Amino acid sequence: MGSCQSVQLVVGKRLSLQDEYNFRWQTPLCQKIHASWRVIDSLPLPKLIDCGQTPFAQVMPDCYRNADAVVAYRAYYAATKQFYVQNGVIVPHKWTRRNQPSFCKLTKM
């Protein structure tokens, strides 16, 4: 069972994600909707209880988990998400219309 606060958080993040997507790609909301918006809208409304914010899931290897989910995800991304494969070539990530996050300084492969 989910909590009211957890569902409100997801919906709020969905709106923030859409705003960020439009900022980075200069895409008006009416022209391009981020895929997460459609996914969240398609989910059935869960039975909700008013039990406060539930813990954040940390879907990553155990070595990156932390009592603070933000610290955990920053460590995970800094260690594992600096590069990606594009057309068979390993390339570093780049940030579109944003500065590189301070917790994710690029290291050599």
In the numeric block, the tokens 């009592």 are attached to 67
The residue with greater pLDDT, 1 or 38, is 38
| Each residue's pLDDT tens digit, 27-66 | 766 566 777 777 877 888 777 777 788 888 899 999 999 9
Contact call for residues 82 and 106 (beta carbons, < 8 A): yes
pLDDT for 30 equals 59
pLDDT for 1 equals 46
Average pLDDT of the chain is 82
